[in-house]
């Protein structure tokens, strides 16, 4: 077993991801749900998608730890809607070409049902008029051209 695959390392990474999501509160939960929508919409149009695709399509509120996006694929994978197709190196400079998981759609009908059951989240913090995001919809203008 190599150093990147030790069970203790995975548990610590999972713990840190969950800490980042928990510390983000309602904003984090909302951005994760938006990330899931972005991931599924991308997979409905393309054979694969990665965290890079999700990250470039979302505006994160100031002060929100981007590590909370690590929770985006978890529920979808556990539900059998998406599945892993291996790993590639991230194209985002801040990720330093680190490995990221590649996802494929495992169940198109389930993806459509999830999207129908989870409409676009509100653009304000629940119970207040405080804005969560600059824009209510995921951005698609940052994708690099061919």
The verdict on residue 131 lying in a domain is no
Judge whether 23 lies within some domain: yes
Q: At 49, phi and psi to the nearest 5? A: -155, 160
Would you state the pLDDT for residue 111? 96
Min mean pLDDT across 30-39, 92-101, 126-135 is at 126-135
**What pLDDT was estimated at residue 124?**
43
Q: In angstroms, how far is CA 14 from the centroid of its own chain?
A: 14
pLDDT at position 134 is: 41
pLDDT at 145: 41
d(CA 76, CA 33): 11
Decide if 56 contacts 69 (C-beta within 8 A).
Answer: no
Instruction: Give the global pTM.
Output: 0.67
pLDDT tens digits for 83-112? 999 999 988 877 788 888 999 999 999 999
Residue 6 has pLDDT above 90, yes or no: no
Alpha-carbon distance 69 to 74, whole Å?
Answer: 10
Q: Rounded CA gap, 92 and 76, in Å? A: 23
Question: Where residue 107 sits, what CATH number does that domain have?
Answer: 1.10.10.10
Is residue 2 assigned to a domain? no
81 belongs to a structural domain:
yes
25: left (phi over 0), alpha (psi -120 to 50) or beta: left
User: What total number of domains does the chain contain?
Assistant: 1
For residue 34, being part of any structural domain is answered with: yes
> What range does the domain containing 55 cover?
8-117
Q: Quick check: is 65 in a domain?
A: yes
Longest dimension (CA), the chain: 50
More confident residue, 53 or 127: 53
In a domain, 139, yes or no: no
Asked whether residue 129 is assigned to any structural domain, the reply reads no
């Amino acid at each position: 077993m190599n150093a990147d695959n030790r069970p203790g390392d995975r548990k610590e990474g999972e713990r840190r991801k969950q800490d980042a999501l928990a510390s983000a509160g309602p904003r984090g939960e909302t951005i994760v749900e938006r990330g899931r929508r972005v991931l599924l919409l991308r997979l409905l149009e393309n054979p694969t998608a990665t965290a890079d695709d999700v990250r470039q399509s979302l505006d994160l509120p100031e002060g929100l730890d981007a590590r909370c996006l690590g929770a985006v694929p978890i529920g979808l994978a556990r539900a059998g809607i998406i599945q892993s197709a291996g790993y590639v190196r991230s194209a985002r400079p801040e990720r330093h070409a680190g490995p990221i998981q590649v996802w494929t759609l495992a169940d198109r009908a389930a993806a459509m049902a999830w999207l129908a059951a989870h409409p676009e989240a509100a653009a304000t913090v629940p119970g207040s008029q405080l804005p969560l995001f600059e824009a209510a919809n995921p951005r698609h203008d940052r994708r690099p051209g061919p």
